[in-house]
Structure 1
Amino acid sequence: MAEGTEGDEPPRRRRRTRGQRIRRLLLSLFILFFCVPTLLFAAVYWSSEIPEPAEVAVEQPATVLAADGTTVLTKIIPPQGNRIPIPLSDVPFPVRDAVLSAEDRNFYTNPGYSTSGFLRAARDNLAGHDNAGGGSTITQQYVKNAFLSSERTVTRKMRELIIAAKMARQWSKDEILAAYLNTIYFGRGAYGIAAAAKAYFDKPVPELTLAEGAVLAAVIRSPSVLDPETHFDQLQARWQYVIDGMVEMNVLAPGERDATVFPPIIPLVDTPAAEMALGPEGHIRTQVLRELRAAGLTEADIDTGALQITTTIDAAAQAGAIDTVRERLAWQPEELRSAVVSIDPRSGAVRAYYGGENGAGFDFAQAPLQTGSSFKVFALVAAQQQGIPVTRSIDSSPIVDRGTRITNVDNDSCGQCPLTEALKRSLNTSFYRLTMTMADGPRSIAAAAHLAGIPEYIPGVEGVSLTEAGGPPLNGIVLGQYLVRPIDMASAYATLAASGVYHSPYFVQRVTTGDGRVLLDRDAEARVGKRLSEPEQRITAAIADATTQAMMPIANYSNGHGLAGGRPSAAKTGTTQLGESKDTKDAWMIGYTPSLSTAVWVGTEQSQPLRSGRGGSIYGSGLPADIWKQVMDTALAGTPVEPFAAPPLPSGGGWTAPAPVPVPAPAPAPGNNGFDILDPPTNAPRNPPPVIIIPPAPQAPEQLEWFPGIGGEGPR
């Protein structure tokens, strides 16, 4: 072992003196509590982008207007705001002073933040106090509401302080106060001082008195706790604090304070209703929102743009539809519901829309429903597409399909008569035989209906519409077995009114922002040859116009429901059967002129028997036809009487009925009660086939699908 190594001890560290330890501790604390916060402050300060006052998007209502551009139908209220921004000049000085007294008495002299408030908030947060926070200046409160979340953390409070400091250097104090007053929550669902003045005193801001302004200033701190309906004493105490503070600020003389009395506040039940319509127009609001989103507008566009949305709704037609339904249902059983949709056939514009009284509830105009005999018109279209003219004569005697006897209401019959007569009398047996006569009749009818405007996919209907559990439709399709919405029926009939040209139905015509920017304009799109949805010639004009001619006698035939002044119309009724009973459950009247197509449905929410106020069954030619005629007469009053386009005549100068297609007459068997359809079918995905245009061929009954309980509707 080398000399000098054995037994050597490692060198000892020199122990720091007490002074060195203290200096190291102080340095660590300096870095932790000064350098790090300073660096963070600088980083947040320089990285924070403060927009100009005019660039801050404030949530405010969008106004939904009728087609005239002036009639207000409803408002779209953002999630946090019925705000109506106003300039600071509209706020009386005593009201401004009251707000400063309540929330920030040094507002015009402080740097935008309160260091003591921040330290107090930090202490309370670290201690876990439930009321952590407070001490914020008006600038900090605005920053928190406009740019940050409401979470109670030191980090959020620090960001609030830093952004407030930067904002105070970039914005004037008046700009900050104006933004604050237009965004702060005052209780009673009121965001911004304009909404608050209405909610508490039902008056505009410029008319607020000192005492009223002090009330609004008082509730800012805690609107729920200081609600005048439940905590009146606490509100009065806070109001007195605000008034006393104004004396301390030297903006109110002691004598004026003593003469100021607590003002009367309107009861909550008398508060002006929120402008988001809960009546029938609420359903229009829902459709407008759906359309705006489909057109690419974002939620921010809708909530902050102060949009002026001009719809296609005709104010007179809309009022007429609502008034008519209310008048006609006033003396009917309370369970009855109705839907009305009117569409302009030349454009697809929805002119009137009624889906029920509760605009925040279920919309019956969007409800998938069985349509009954009103679906027969699509069989007439399909027949012509296969070369069968509307004058073809078909047997109307009862028919049995796989054990089910199909009849007409009251066993009505026209013997061997043209399809036009069978359509007028709504003879189920004739149209059921027509379906059996056509090549792939059920699917050809479905295809014709899709061409007219019945969507392939309907919300609330599983899979492709007009199918039977994903397979081909059954023969009962001709009697309205499958589910379709009232708006779809109005649209599909509008295609016939437009000589076979389909226009997608729409509600929104033009959208502009509060500052005048145009976000959507269908008229401008049309002028440059571009449309959001292009019209399509889906059915030949000859077939559509011939179908219209066949439908023209029906309104008068159905208990005298022809339009006023002899105005030409084409229409069809429909009624469906409730289960295996003798009751009805859906009743329809759908019809059109060249300028307006209207679908009317009457039914119940729970598929109850349709009974009138006198206890009788309701058919399509009854109450629905009453509503249809009144709605159409009201909407068309004062407009020119227009004739329909006549279908082109064959070379012989008129329609020549071909020989009827023979169909074996079935033996009588127990069956239905003469209505259109029984139970709703199931639906599953399947693409509808193309229209089949081939010569008609007979088809034996035993080759058909089974369909339970079908019948027809007479001129009730």
Structure 2
Amino acid sequence: MKRFLPASGALVLVAAVVGAVVWQRPEASPEAIAAGDVVLQHSDGSLLWRSGQPQTPLVQQVLRELGTIGTSLDQLRAAGGALVVTTIDSKAQAGATEVIRQLAAARPASITAVDPANGSVRAYVPGLDPAVDYAGGVVRAAGDTTRPFGSVALMRAAGVPESAEVEGRRTELLATGEALLRPLDVATAYATFAAEGVHHDTHFITHVTEAGGKTLYRAAIASRPALGLDPGRSKEFAARVTEELRADPLCGDHREAACLPVEVKDGDVVRHAWMIGYTPRLAVVVFVGAESSVEVQGRPVTATGLPNDILRAFQSKLTTW
């Protein structure tokens, strides 16, 4: 990511490398931004959020990313307002929201989808409780989601940070015997497999434009081999994992899809379950929490039950998978 620096009371872009952004259409005219207003858009230019409205967990993730690139909501408002174009695909986001509402409204659940080609977060539905982010704001035991990587070192190489801010405090993710991960981290890691061993930094922001139309920031799409010492070894490792995961019957007849169901238990009781699915075009992670293995709407909260239903229902909402 490139950074903002203050200069003469304004925010200026140090440098930018323009990367290809999938599914994006021209955004709304910056003249439509009221003085001091900050508007977040989906990648197609439709409205996602406007300053003054309640901040959902998704909006909070976008605003947090603003801080990592050197600015903040308050700075943008003080500078006269801005347009922030996000990576979120409006149709995928709406579809994921509908699926969670229909199948898991009574459960801690989330859908996170990342584009393997550039690290863009395409859908981010962290549950229906506006006070809890079950995609990027909680950590849960990863269970066998880490198995294809074989080591903590490869999890870090695939883009999983050593620590993250969770519920207002810094939390170690990979330092203990049992990895604690956010669904967003799992989606980031499996997007690396989907990209044939190439890692791209996961991000929510495509570019930021001031009210007058000047571009303040544009995401740089950088890549690096992640799963070996060189591109060839990374690609070979990713190909072996993907081939193994494609053999799971849960993947159906989609020749490019790979999938991995994971349950984390206390004895015979399911604590939570993951369902991971990816193709070269999208990596999707479904998380569903449960205090017991009771059924919800006729389907058990096991990886092959409700989480798998959620993944399949979300796939049916996508234009391409």
TM-score bin, normalised by smaller chain = 0.7 to 0.9
Structure 1 residue 312 displacement after superposition:
0.4
1:574 and 2:280 equivalent? no
CA distance in 1, matches of 2:179, 2:298: 28
> Are residues 76 and 487 of structure 1, via their aligned partners in 2, closer, same or farther at CA, if it must alter by over 3 Å?
same
- Post-superposition offset of 1:302: 2.2
Q: Which has the higher strand share?
A: 2
Contact 2:299 2:306 in 1 (8 A): no
Aligned partner letter, 1:619: T
Give me the whole-angstrom Cα distance separating, in 1, the residues matched to 2:83 and 2:293: 41
Residue 301 of structure 2 is matched in structure 1 by 618
In 1, distance between residues paired with 2:299 and 2:73?
Answer: 49
1:517 corresponds to: 214
Contact 1:458 1:484 in 2 (8 A): no
**SS where residue 278 of structure 2 aligns?**
strand
Q: Deviations over 1:337-374 (max 9, x none)?
A: 10111000010000000112233x11111211112222
Note the C-alpha offset of 1:464: 4.4
Instruction: For structure 2, list consecutive stretches of 5 or more residues without a partner in the other structure.
Output: 1-33, 228-233
User: For the Cα contact (< 8 Å) 1:569–1:593, is it kept in 2?
Assistant: yes
Is residue 2:87 matched to residue 1:312?
yes
Quote the offset at 1:631 in angstroms.
1.5
Distance 1:285 1:567 in 2: 35
Q: Deviations over 1:467-498 (max 9, x none)?
A: 33xxxx3xxxxxxx321000000000000111
Secondary structure of 1:364's partner? coil
Deviation at 1:521, TM superposition (A): 1.8
- Kept in 2, the 8 Å contact 1:321–1:340? The answer is yes
1:624 deviates by 0.6
Provide TM-score, normalisation by structure 2: 0.80
TM-aligned CA deviation for residue 458 of structure 1: 2.5
Structure 1 unaligned blocks of 5 or more: 1-57, 78-274, 380-444, 474-480, 523-530, 642-716
1:289-300 superposed matches below 5 A? 289-300=63-74
The CA deviation string for residues 387-410 of structure 1, in whole angstroms up to 9 with x for no partner, is: xxxxxxxxxxxxxxxxxxxxxxxx
One-letter code of the match for 1:365? A
**1:525-564 matches, cutoff 5 A:** 531=220, 534-539=222-227, 540-554=234-248, 557-558=249-250, 561-562=251-252
Opposite residue 312 of structure 2, the aligned amino acid is K
SS at match of 1:491: helix
Q: 1:340 to 1:546 in 2, by over 3 A?
A: same
Verify the 8 A CA contact 2:115 2:283 in the aligned structure 1: yes
Deviations 1:305-332 (A, max 9, x none): 32111100011100010001111125xx
Equivalent positions of 1:311-330 (< 5 A) are 311-329=86-104
C-alpha deviations, 1:36-69, integer Å up to 9, x for none? xxxxxxxxxxxxxxxxxxxxxx963311110012
* Partner Cα separation in structure 1 for residue 68 and residue 54 of structure 2: 21
Q: Is the 8 A contact 1:585 1:603 kept in 2?
A: yes
1:630 to 289, 309, 313: 313
**C-alpha separation between the residues in 1 aligned to 2:255 and 2:51?**
38
Cross-structure match for 1:609: 292
Letter in 1 for 2:278: Y
Counterpart check, 1:363 vs 2:141: no
Report the alpha carbon displacement of residue 299 of structure 1 after superposing the two structures with TM: 4.6
1:93-492 → structure 2 map (5 Å cutoff) = 275-276=53-54, 282-304=56-78, 305-329=80-104, 334=106, 336-359=107-130, 361-366=131-136, 367-379=138-150, 445-460=151-166, 464-468=172-176, 473=177, 481-492=178-189
What SS does the corresponding residue of 1:458 show, helix, strand or coil? strand
Which letter maps to 1:451?
Answer: A
Confirm whether residue 506 of structure 1 aligns to residue 196 of structure 2. no
Pairing partner for 1:72 from 24, 44, 47: 47
Q: Which amino acid aligns with 2:261?
A: T
Distance 1:328 1:616 in 2: 9
| Aligned residues of 1:583 and 1:617 also touching (Cα < 8 A) | no
**Are the aligned partners of 1:76 and 1:285 in contact in 2 as well (CA < 8 Å)?**
no
More relative contact order, 1 or 2 (CA 8 Å, 6+ apart): 2
Residue type at the aligned position of 2:70: G
Q: Whole-Å Cα distance in 2 between the matches of residues 298 and 308 of structure 1?
A: 13
- 1: CA distance between counterparts of 2:262 and 2:298? 20
* Counterpart-to-counterpart distance in 1, 2:153 and 2:184: 18
Q: CA deviation at 1:632?
A: 2.4
The equivalences for 1:579-598 within 5 A come to 580=267, 582-598=268-284
The aligned residue for residue 709 of structure 1 is none
Change (3 A) 1:616 1:631: closer
Q: What is the Cα deviation at residue 545 of structure 1?
A: 1.0
- Paired with 1:73 and 1:59, the residues of 2 have a C-alpha distance of 18
Shift of 1:616: 6.9
Shift of 1:567: 5.0
Using the size of structure 1 for normalisation, the TM-score is 0.37
Q: How many residues align?
A: 278
Q: Which has the larger radius of gyration?
A: 1
Give me the whole-angstrom Cα distance separating, in 2, the residues matched to 1:502 and 1:521. Answer: 19
- The answer (yes or no) to whether the contact 1:584–1:617 under 8 Å persists in 2 is no
Preserved contact between residue 457 and residue 464 of structure 1 (Cα < 8 Å): yes
Task: Provide the rounded CA distance (Å) in 2 between the counterparts of 1:314 and 1:329.
Answer: 21
Corresponding letter in the other structure for 1:568 = E
The letter of the residue matching 2:47 is V
Q: Distance in 2 between matches of 1:488 and 1:613?
A: 26
Greater fraction helix: 1
Distance in 2 between the 1:624 and 1:291 partners?
28
Distance (whole Å) between structure 2 residues aligned to residue 329 and residue 339 of structure 1: 9
| Contact 1:486–1:600 under 8 Å retained in 2 | yes
Q: 1:323 to 1:615 in 2, by over 3 A?
A: closer
